[in-house]
A and B are shown apart, each in its own frame.
Chain A
Amino acid sequence: MDYIVAFAVGGMICVIGQILLDFFKFSPSHVMSSLVVMGALLDGFHLYDRLIDFAGAGAVVPIMSFGHSLVHGAMIEANRSGFLGIGMGIFEVTSAGISSAILFGFLVAIFFKPKG
C-alpha cells in the first residue's frame, strides 16, 4: 500500500515539474531550483513533514525534500542555539545527500568516460 501512495505522490510532484518545463518553458535548472524553494516554503508551514508522514518515499525522493531538509536542519539547531543555529544546522539533514552526490559524481568521473 505504501508503494502505491509513494508512486502517486512522487508522480504528482513530477507532473508539477513537467508543467513548469512544458507550459511555463522553464529550463531544467529553473525547475529544480523552483521545486527546492517550494519545499523550503512548505516546510516553513510545517506542511512537508505531514506529506512525508503520509507518502514516505513519495515525498522524500523528489527534490522538494531537499528544500525541506535544509529548513528542518536549520530549525532543529535554531531551537537549540537561536539565530546562529540556522547557519550551524542547515546542512545537517542533507549532509548525506550532498556528500554522497559529490563523492559518487567524482568517482564516476574518474573511472568512466562520457558517451555522448
Chain B
Amino acid sequence: MGKQTLIFNSPIFIENTATVVGPKEGEGPLKTTFDKTYDELYCGTTSWELAERKLMSEAIELCLQKANKKNQEIDFFLGGDLLNQNITASYVAREKEIPFWGLFNACATSMEALTLAAVLLDGGFANHIVTAVSSHFATAERQFRFPTEFGAQKPETAMFTVTGAGAAHVSKTKTKIRIEAATIGKVIDLGVTSPFNMGSAMAPAAAHTIKTHLADLKRTPNDYDAIVTGDLSRIGSPILKSLLFEENIDISHVHQDCGLLIFSPDQNVFSGGSGCACSAVVTFGHLFKEMKRGLLKKILVVATGALLNPLMVHQKESIPCIAHGVSFEYVHS
C-alpha cells in the first residue's frame, strides 16, 4: 500500500514472546517485564559471544515453551544480531535445527524480522515462525569501539548497548496482538560520522519511515496510542520530533523511545540504550504487556539501525541508517 507499506490479507498474530536480559537491564525501570534476567554479563559462560548466544537460545526456548511447541513444529527461524557474520543467530540456528533466514539491519533487525515473518505467513509459505534478535554490551563494544577495560572517556552522546535477546512466535492463531501493517525503510545517510553519536545519525531514517507510513496509510499520529522508536535515545528523539515537525507531523504526545524506557538516567548509560535487543525486549515485554492489559490499543514500533562498520568509520565514511516500522493492534477476544 502506498510507497513502502505492506498490509496483510490474512490476520497475523504474535502468539507468544520471550525476553532474556543482562544485569543492568534487570535493574532498570522495566525489570519486572522480562522473562529471565542474568546477574552477570557472562551469563554463566566463558566468553562474551557465548553469553550472547545463550541469551538468544534461551529466549527462543522460553518462547516456544509458552506455546507448547517443539523446534520441529516451527517452519522458519528468522534471526539476527550485531556481530560480524551474524554469528549469534547462525550458531543458535545450528542448535535449534530450524530452517534459518539470517538477517542484518543492525538495531532495526527486530522489526525487519517480524515484517518478513508476516509476509511468509501471509503468503501461505509457513504456519509457525519464530523471530529472534540479540545484542550484548561487551560484544558490541569490542567489535565497534574499544576493549571493555580501556580507559577512554565516552562522550555524552554515546549509547549503551542492551544485553539481551527477544524472541517472538508469529502465526495465524488468534491472540490479542495483531501485526496490522509494516513499513520497510530506505537507507538514509545525512553525514554523521561518529559511532559515538548514533542517535543523530538514525533520526532522519526514523523520520522518513514514520512520515512514509502515515502517508501510505493516510493516518495521523493521533491514530496511535504510542509511536515508539527503537534507540534514538536522548539525543536523537528531539531531533526526530523536530524533523517531523518541519513536515507538519507532530508526534510529541505519543512518542516514546525504547532506549529511554529500558534504563533510568541514574544508571550511567550516557544518552540511552541501543542494540538489536533494545527494541525487541522493550516491545516484546513491556509494550505487549501494556497492550494485553488494554492500556495501548494501537502502537507503531519503529526500530532504528545504524549500518556502520569500524573499517568504514576509519575510512572516514559516514553512517547509513535505516528504520523499519511495524504497527500492532490490540484485538478483543
Contact = CB atoms under 8 A, between A and B. Distances in A.
Contact of A116 (B137, B152, B153): B137
A105 to B, nearest CB: 11
A27 B137 CA distance: 21
A114 B152 contact: no
Interface in B22-54: 41-42, 48
6 contacts: A27-B152, A28-B146, A28-B150, A113-B42, A115-B148, A115-B149
B147 interface: yes
Interface in A22-45: 27-28
A116 B48 CA distance: 9
Contact of B147 (A21, A113, A114): A114
A23 to B, nearest CB: 12
A115 B138 CA distance: 9
Given A28-B152, A28-B153, 7 more contacts: A21-B153, A28-B146, A28-B150, A115-B148, A116-B48, A116-B138, A116-B148
A34 to B, nearest CB: 15
The main secondary structure of chain A at its interface with chain B is loop
The 7 closest A-B pairs by CB, nearest first: A116-B138, A116-B41, A28-B152, A116-B148, A114-B148, A114-B149, A116-B137
A113 B40 CA distance: 13
Interface residues of B, number: 13
Contacts of B148: 114-116
Interface string B230-242: 0000000000000
A115 B148 CA distance: 8
A114 B139 CA distance: 12
A16 to B, nearest CB: 15
Contacts of B138: 114, 116
B198 to A, nearest CB: 16
Contacts of A115: 41, 148-149
A33 B2 CA distance: 53
Contacts of A27: 152
Interface string A43-60: 000000000000000000
A114 B42 CA distance: 10
A28 B153 CA distance: 8
Contacts of B152: 27-28
Q: Which of A113, A114, A115 has the most CB of B within 10 A?
A: A114
A113 B46 CA distance: 9
A87 to B, nearest CB: 30
Interface string B119-151: 000000000000000000110010000111110
Contacts of A116: 41, 48, 137-138, 141, 148
Nearest to A31: B152
A25 to B, nearest CB: 8
Interface string A7-22: 0000000000000010
B36 to A, nearest CB: 19
